[in-house]
Each structure stands twice: as C-alpha cells, then as structure tokens.
Structure 1
Amino acid sequence: MKHISILVPDEAVLGTISDTRYMFTTLNEFLESDGKSPMFKVQLVGLGEEVKFHQGLFSIHPDVRITDVKKTDLIIIPPLSGNLKATLERNKDFIPWIIDHYQDGAEVASLCIGSFMLAATGLLNGRECSSHWASAAEFREMFPEVELIDGRIITEEQGLYSSGGATSYWNLLLHLVEKLTDRELAIRIAKLFALEIDRKTQSPFVMFNGQKKHEDEPIKKAQEFIECNLTERISVDDLASRFAIGRRHFDRRFKKATNNTPAEYIQRVKIEAAKKWLENSHKNVNEVMYEVGYNDTKSFRTVFRKITGLSPIDYRNKYNKEAVVA
C-alpha cells in the first residue's frame, strides 16, 4: 500500500487539500468496487493538531503530525497564499522533513504555487519546475537557481513533480494517478471529475503583464514605449538608440530586468493586445493583426501560436462570446 502524505500548511489553499484527498480516496473506492484491495493510505499531515483558514472560519485537523510519519511514498504540497516569504517562514518546519523523506525515497509533488515550498527545500536547484504563470517573476527572484518553465502544466524530474497555475493541479494529480496505477484508472478518474486528460500547457490562460519591479529606469521607459506604440514596427536597434544604450548592453539590461529579451517583450505585448481584440471585438484575424503592428499573416499566426498554444482563430472561437454562440 502506498502512503500518501498531503501537507496542511498554514495559509494553504483549503480546497486543494480536500480535492487531493478526495481523488485518492475515490481511487480506493474504485479498486474496492472492482473486488481489489485499496492501494493508498491517505493522510493529512500538519505541524500541529489544528490548522485554521480564513480567519478561523474553517479549520483542518490533520490525521498526524510530521513527527509521527516515519515513512511515506508521496508528499503532496498544496498551493500557498498570502505573502509567500512570510508564509514560508511560518511553515519552515516542513522543509527539513520534506528533504529527509525525499532522501529516504519519497517522491514530492507541488501543486500550483506550492512550488515555492518545494523550491525552498533546495531540491529543485538546477532542475525544472512549473508554477502559476502569475507568480513567475516572484518565483525567479526568490529561487534563481531553479529553472522555471513558463506555460508548462507538469514538470517531472527525479521524483519531483510540479504543476502550473490554478486548476492545472488536477492534471498533475491525474498524472500521478496514472503513474501509481494505470491508464484505465486515470481515465475513469478523469471522466468522473470531468477533467481534460493530458493537457500539456497553460499558455492560453497566461495574461502577460510586463515585469516592472526593477530599478532600471531607462528599461522601464523602453517597456512603456513598446506598450504605447502597438501599431508600430519597433526594432531593437531603434529602441537601443532611442534610449542611448549600446545594442548589446541594452539586450543584457533588458533581459536582466524583465526576464525577456527586447524582441520577446515586443512580441508578447503585441500578442497580449491581440488576445484582447480577439476576445472582445468583432474584428477578424487580419484586422487584429494590423491593429498590433503585424502585416504578415504567417508571421503573426506563428508568433501567436508560439505564445498562446492556439491559432488566432481557435483562440477567438474559444474566448469570444459571440463566436461561441455562433
């Protein structure tokens, strides 16, 4: 029987703890209904006897404290909330416990921005990780030695798992179900929970908001210039010249400040604006393309798909209310 330890940290996202427990206990029910023995011992694991949420409106009484767990096979870290640095400090006693059990053979999975706790262990240093797209800048600032993969739904490396943002954690749970059981049970669970199995990217959900939490004022002005001149064809050479910075130095400073090259930033700003047009206007794809400064259909569609994972027409059909009705 596999021992699954679902952590109950202070400031965790309450629903994800319940969802995770429900999925694995439902698996046991499936197995029992098939005349088989249950496969999982599922425990909620905390630092104390009670963890309160939402100013005491809800509380969880963990099954066991971390000191009571002598051996486990899988540790699941739920998403965290609030000020993440402060939240990690309040939950710091989980960190050595996670490290010890990983070194003793346990696998560890973080859901959404539970990735911050997993990264705080140091186990992800030099490895890939997924997290919520909205927390990417803060994650990179706090954990520069971890390779955060933008848009990825699931990362898996040497028994360490992580998921993308929000409901992407369901896809990681499905992935774990298939690894621990088989494809047939994973499909049954996916159908019961009405989940899309094998979803690979969170790119269609990303809302690009250029990183401006830096002190490089000329680069901030360059970002603002890009954002205010969507219809223009802006070259990186022109930007470097406008702000009186040598081209190579400009590239390095821009990448350091924003985590994007200037060319990537220009593309992402334009595609984010195109997404808004496609979501909310009557304009067709070519009209939107011109609105954001592209005049080559193939180039626009290639960049759009690269960033969102969808073609412009598929994106419009997915998110534009009138297109959905039609």
Structure 2
Amino acid sequence: MGLNVTPVREIRPDTLLDRANALISTYKTASNPELIQQLPQAAAGLGDLCPPPDPAAGLHVLRGLTADDTGLGATPPSWSDASPTRTAEWDVVMLLLASAMGRPFGWEGQQDGRLVHDIVPSRGHEHEQTGASSTVTLAAHNEDAFHHRRANLMLLGCLRNPDRVATSAASVRHAGLDDADVEVLSAPVLPILPDDAYDDARDSSLEPPRVPTLWHGEDGLCLRFDPAYTPLEQAGADYRAAYGRLCRELDRVKVGVRLEPGDVLVIDNDAVVHGREPFRARYDGTDRWLKRVSVRLPGRDRPSAETAEHGYGQQPIDPYEER
C-alpha cells in the first residue's frame, strides 16, 4: 500500500542556521570552493537532525526552516538569473543537509556545474519534461535516470509556492507488482535517453545502453524509470504490458506533496519517482521557486553492469572524489 500521508520530520533549525551563517560570513557564497571543502566538517553531528528517509517510506519532509518571502526578492526568470548571494543562506543550508546525509554533487552539463540548482518556470520551456516546465504534468521519473551515477537521494527545498503546486511521489515498494512483472522488467531491454536539460548528451552519437527498469537493492526493490525518455515502442508486447502495469501502479500509490516555504522534501531516488502537477506560470516574480541538490550515498550498491555505461559523455562534479 502507498502512504496516505507523507512523513514529516520536525527539525530545530538553530544549529543548522548558525553553521550556515558562519560559513557565509567567511566564504560569501555556496559556490566558493573553499566553503564546499568545509562542508563535511561543518555538517558533522547533524545526522540525527536530518537522516535519510526510512526505506519503507522512501521520502520525508523536513519542516522547521522558514523562507522570508520579502527578503528573497523576485523569483528569477530562469536558473541562470538566480543571484548567488541573495539566497546564499538557503544554498548553504541545503548543502549542509545534503552533507549530513551523504555527498552533494553536480553535473558539468547542467546549471553551470553548480551543486545547488534553482528550479523555476522559464519562458519557452513550458511544455518540456524538465523542472523549467509549467503547463504540462511533469511525468513521474527518477532524477537523471539516464546516467549510471545519478543521485541516491534528492533534496527539494521550497522557497516559494504560492499556488501550492504539488510535487508527486511514488515508491516502487508500495506498488502491487507480481513476480512475473518484476522478472520481465529486471531484464536490460530498453535504454533511457538523456532529458532535455542535457543538450550535449542528447546530441551524443554514442550507442544508448539498455538498462533494467527494476532491480533488488539492499533495502528492497529499486527502479530506474523515466517513461518520457524511454523508447517503449522498441520493446516487445510482454515488456510493454509489464511496463504499463508498473506505470499504473506508481500512479495508484503516488502522494501529492504541497511544499510550504521552508519545507525540504528528501526523496530516495533509487526507490521513489517524483513528478509535478501542471500550473500556470505568471512570470511576474512570484512563481514557484525550489532549490535542488543531488546526493550520493557512498557504499550503496547498484547493478554491477552500470559501471560499464558511458553516461552519454556527461560527467558528475563530485568535489570530494579522489582524482
């Protein structure tokens, strides 16, 4: 069965904010490489405050922070217009939360390699299957499902959501799949192509690797899922039927999370897919504005065959990775 209510973890933000502001006073912005190197030390002891979600749920909302609507200024018209100083406190808070759970990382090919992404509606992208869209339903998917080094956890921090737009989430562990469907979907039959946020990857001439949709992880069933970028027409009838049943089950068990300013939604990206309901963007500085951070959990295993994938030439930026 799915969750009727999204788990909420109330947190006391004092320690978190004190540490964030101490870092900002020295390093000014979250993109400062010296600040990023200080994050593991600064996040020490915060694990009890903000642990990863319970595997049975796969997500939770951290509540207790606030977002000052007046102090934020206008929602930027695109991620590239977001000021690195105006939301420095929130950027560093997001990185501290991520560092308490695992290792934050970014992508060379997305949002200029920043570790904290700004998710805002943007003109000309209304109908895409990306975070910049608005007028279409953002279909359920795992974040960066096309890549073998995708996030284990994803954090979404809400700065502004005046229309109470719901983020949808569904755990594969709540889906009612039979053993036959799990077996069919565990075979590497179809590729997942890069999404519209990765222009260079979409132009890649590399042969797309075929990947399993389902596999068994240490904590239970996991999935790698992005139907908007999966060429389902290339699969046989049995596979398409099983995939369709998975889609329907995920839709059946999904919950809608209407984030309030200050809320941080934490999603297990190996077990839970997420999406977003459509809304009408105003482009007047008051639109929905989220912060997003991808997190890697060192030591969490995925299918060994993933290590041979090319990732369409897209490279993660892991500031703590040995080179």
**TM-score, structure 1 as length reference:** 0.27
Larger RCO (alpha carbons 8 Å, 6+ apart): 2
Bigger proportion of residues as helix: 1
Say which one has the larger Rg.
1
Bigger proportion of residues as strand: 2
